[in-house]
Amino acid sequence: MEDDKYSKELDVAVRVVHLACSLCQRVQEGLVSTSSDQIVSKDDDSPVTVADWSVQATVSWMLSEFFGSQNVSIVAEEDVQTLSKADSADLLEAVVHTVNKCLAEAPKFGLKSPDRSLGALQVLEAISRCSSSGGPVGRHWVLDPVDGTLGFVRGDQYAVALALIEDGQVVIGVLGCPNYPMKKEWLNYHHQHYRNMSKLSLPTPDSWEEGCVMYATRGSGKAWMQPLVNGDEKLEWPNFARVIRVSSIDDPALATFCEPVEKANSNHSFTAGLAHSVGVRKKPLRVYSMVKYAAIARGDAEIFMKFARSGYKEKIWDHAAGVLIVQEAGGVVTDAGGRMLDFSKGLYLEGLDRGIVACSGATLHEKIVGAVYASWDSSNL
């Protein structure tokens, strides 16, 4: 693929994710510092916040402005059912306020603000526009507005994930990680802990303590990372971006193994047994959201495995952006049978063989996949 084929789409996506991360940072600070009524539960009991709907509306509006609403197909996680209820007027008002405050900052990120504030109907329409089911033909933007909402409401790790799928293949991946610490060892601690620790050390002119956006285009052989814009700074992209690569560690005894924090849709006991069987000795690094993919891509971890419990179906927005970034950074991501993940089947990763395995290199990946085949029959999945 020519590096500049998707240059406009990548430029817009990176700027929009920066803008969305700024929105999330403001909302998260409010959620952590106060007992908020801006968190509700979906039908499956998973949390959704003002940030989820606000980011979705913001990204939808921006993509439609740049590429035309008739030309943009967006697959995203949230819908407007809860916001449209009669007793959700205050929640909707909070979302509209958050969206407009965010859009007003758009010029700082090299984006255009609307001529006038959006009304409630316009915000609902922007969210509703993200109702595509994807598929094998055409271009589809895939958005997870706040990946890892549980981590988000707890003041910990989360991500804003935006990808572009063209004819069934992920061609752009952008991952905003507002709380990602620049020091690898701080990943083991709650976000607030290392924020306090960072105050004890003096920053250097060419470093930043936390928060980044990672991105890649298919076939480029490179993944990039840049710091988030803070305060009154303006986004000067691609200034300050640097290439990231996966770790060169291929000895399981030295490898760091990531897994989800939540036990609801992943089997920790099986992954723990699998890790032990291939020689992984370090304690697992449990991280919310697609930050796990970010850790692999940046070389902070070597292995990520997820084996969902029976009946759970992996959604494309939980993986598309992170998978591409890991691959372009030099890593390997497949299902547990060693097959490439298929993003062409709609909302779900249909035909997934048992689970997902992401590794920094082929050696570790082959060992994990081999251990899956050896261990599967005796597992309790």
- How many C-beta atoms lie closer than 10 Å to residue 273's C-beta? 15
Query: If residue 125 lies in a helix (H) or strand (E), which one and from where to where?
Result: helix 120-128
Residue 318 among known ligand-binding residues: yes
Active site residue 232: no
> Which is catalytic among the residues 52, 156, 300, 335?
52
Contacting residues for 235 by C-beta, under 8 A, at least 6 apart = 15, 18, 108, 109, 110, 229
> Assign residue 180 a region: left if phi > 0, alpha if psi is -120 to 50, beta otherwise?
beta
Six token digits for residue 243:
């290439």
Q: Buried b vs exposed e over 337-368: b needs ≥16 C-beta within 10 Å?
A: ebeebbbbbbbebeebebbbbbbbbeebbebb
Cβ-in-10-Å burial (0-12, 13-18, 19+) of 155 comes to middle
CB atoms within 10 A of CB 240: 13
Tell me whether residue 77 is annotated as binding. Answer: yes
Q: Look up 52 and say whether it is catalytic.
A: yes
Is-contact 61 148, C-beta < 8 A?
Answer: no
Peptide linkage before 238 cis (omega within 30 of 0): yes
Question: Mind giving me the DSSP string for 41-96?
Answer: E-TTS-EEEHHHHHHHHHHHHHHHHHH-TTT--EEES--STTTTSGGGHHHHHHHH
- What's the longest Cα–Cα distance across the chain? 61
* Cα distance between residue 19 and residue 162, in whole Å: 12
Determine if residue 167 is labeled as part of a ligand binding site: no
Give the span between the Cα atoms of 277 and 79, in whole angstroms: 42
Q: Of 58, 98, 149, 256, which residue is the catalytic one?
A: 149
Rounded CA gap, 261 and 50, in Å? Answer: 22
Is 232 annotated among the ligand-binding residues? no
Closest CA to 357 of 291, 303, 319, 308: 303
The residues annotated as belonging to the active site are 52, 149
Return binding residues: 77, 144, 147, 318
Task: Write out the binding residues for Mg(2+).
Answer: 77, 144, 147, 318
